[in-house]
Structure 1
Amino acid sequence: MIAIPSSVSLTTGRGGLPVLQVNGPAARGEIYLHGATVTDWTPAGGSPVLWLGSASRFADDTAIRGGVPICFPWFGARAGHPGAPSHGFARLSEWSLVAAEDDGQDVTLRLRLTDDDQTRVSAWPHRFEAVYTVVFGSRLSLALQVTNLSDETVNFEEALHTYLEVRDIRAVEVSGLEGAAFHDRLAGPGPVRGEPGPVRFRSETDRTYLDTRARTAVHDAQAGRSVVISKDGSAATVVWNPWIDKALALSDFGDDDWTTMVCVEVCNVGDAAIQLAPGGSHTMAATFEVDPDPITRSTPR
């Protein structure tokens, strides 16, 4: 049994699922052991940064729609395995809390997932250890370290499928991806030449931007803030909004929820998938910071 500081409580959350609630001096937060899904990060004096759908289901057999689900060890559908769950098994698994610390400013939680009887007969049957470090403070820092415990080289995809709350997606811009080529899942398999300006939303958007290593920023002028995203160990970025028709088709998505969210996902997917030799480790990290000026100060440099 690990020691838990007074700023952290382990309680029963929605759907009867265990949840860690954080009340630190710099932020409050929440992370479900189911999927190690962060569902809240609210900096002190601010408003919630992460989006949670009005129709999100909390059950041990489904992924939580919102917050930061972890996609691992594959992204999207698993080729050749039609019965495999979308985005892998990590977001459907119960993770174990292995450390909790409060340094008087930031609260750090560390969770762990390893292979078990179910994963060993899945579409990705390898031995592994995944350690997820979450730091709740004036910034939200996430780091996913995967270690290959098998005796063969493994390949995997990973994504921090971050849902960010916005006032109105039609007035939102994403900067930092200018000029980056991307795969448009709605248009076909080939890469599309990058665009000169920021990403704007006028219809369903489902893009994987390639070779993206700089910061990105989600500018929400109506909310008067930008969310700046820095990353390390990631070579791709997914930008997604389902728009009207897709939202209507998703059973765990409210009909109008598409207007108040955008996903900007730090990831290694497709051609950027990770290859690990036996005993090797890889860490993918993301840091989120709120800037109160949505136009001038948050533009990535």
Structure 2
Amino acid sequence: MLLPRTRQALQASLAVWLVLTAGGAFAQTKPRPSCTEAASDACYTAFRPRIDGGWLHYYSSLRPGVDTARPTTALIAIHGHPRDANRTFNAATRALQAAGTQEPSLIVAPVFQVAEPGAARCQTKGVPGPQADDLLWTCASWMAGGGAFSSFAALDALVTELRQRWPSLQTVTIAGFSAGAQLVQRYIGFAAPPQPGAPRVRYVVASPGSWLYFDAARPVATTQAACPRQNRWKYSTEKLPDTLGRNAEEARQAYAAADVHYLVGALDTGDAPGTHYPSLDRSCAANAQGPYRLERALAYAAADNQQRLAANQPTREVTVVPSCAHDVACVFTSPAARSALLP
């Protein structure tokens, strides 16, 4: 099912890209993506974040080195715990089609690969498994910047890759759903600083199971003795891994300066069908943030915006998506989420 991705194949693809861009102009194309379903082999590609490292695969609505569209916006959609990048990609492309935008846009959905046998606990049918030279994480490590090659560094590299492949990009939105939102919300404070001439980067945090707090206040009162992990990474900033490259204050400032939008399904509460309650983090550190995803999202956004008002900063928009529980296909394709995902 995989596209050939040998060094020779990728070099040939790059050669085509160089020929197409050498003249400094691209043929005009319709804004509709060339790949709209993750089932197509043509939508699955890869790159090396580092020369001495492994490969990171991603679904892409435009084929690197083949399509000549000049997208001005990109949406990087991050999968949830089942690593359902195919469903996430399909939801994002449907959102783009429903928006009917006339500007060329790029949709990308990376896959954080997990080696067998651990992958059996977090895999989705239809998503190709890892190959021998892929970057690897565990089912949990990629959500919080872990891995031999940090998932935060992988996102940094992906943004750079897209900028190099499509220099027309002006805005990149990084949107995560569920566990992918855990990754995105934590990544914001540790993302590489913007480079001169780089696209504007935005973030959408959609229905995470837990949040990174930058202080000790929580919606549900508890004590350090009763729940010592609530102030530690990944729930707060004590005991930050050295690999993240920033201290707590630097991360807080980076988060405060970022362009962030919060999304959550209106029905993503309780233990009813569709809420995926069995997969919800119910540790004491997570429960201190609220009982369910909707309550946790609203409490975090309220606390964040209260601090921003006190600091004379503009508040961040919170969108509660009607009629959606915990389903990326519902949340991402909802008209209510459109302005957040596709500005």
- Give the TM-score normalised by structure 2: 0.28
- Greater per-residue helix proportion: 2
- Greater per-residue strand proportion: 1
- Give the TM-score normalised by structure 1: 0.30
Larger radius of gyration: 2
